[in-house]
Amino acid sequence: MSYDRTVRLERDFATTVTDVRQALADQGFGILTEIDVTATLKAKLDHDMEPYLILGACNPPLAHRALDIDRAIGLLLPCNVVVRQDGDHTLVQALDPQTMVTLTGLDRLGPVADEAAARLDAALASLT
């Protein structure tokens, strides 16, 4: 089972991060959290790695609908989007929202996951 939606871009990391932020905003997502994995591993472990950023994206109406169905769904929120360097390319990866339905077994989350997936897919498609 694939749990991600991925696009491979031929542009630099910094430009991609800016573009991803805008693409998500255009689909109603705000960024709640940001984890610079590269900086964290360097600071804590003195480990060097390629640029790797995790953005915690949230679409408040979708989050509200999901939380009304299952309060514990917060464990799977926000929608994580990874921007990472991969050789000469930059990858943008989003967690497949259907993972919420698969992990919880709650079919009532299906419509929320479908809409989240459509919005994430639109954001990713706008990057290419």
Residue ranges covered by each domain of the chain: 4-127
4-127 topology per CATH: TATA-Binding Protein (3.30.310)
* pLDDT at residue 65 is higher than 70: yes
- Model pTM score: 0.93
- Mean pLDDT for 53-75 is 96
pLDDT, one tens digit per residue, over 89-102 is: 999 999 999 998 99
What value does the mean pLDDT of the chain take? 96
So what's the pLDDT on residue 1?
A: 63
The model's confidence at residue 3, banded by pLDDT at 50, 70 and 90, is confident
Please report, to the nearest 10 degrees, the dihedral formed by the alpha carbons of residues 41, 20, 89, 2 taken in order: 80
End-to-end CA distance of the chain: 24
Q: Chain centroid to CA 58: how far?
A: 9
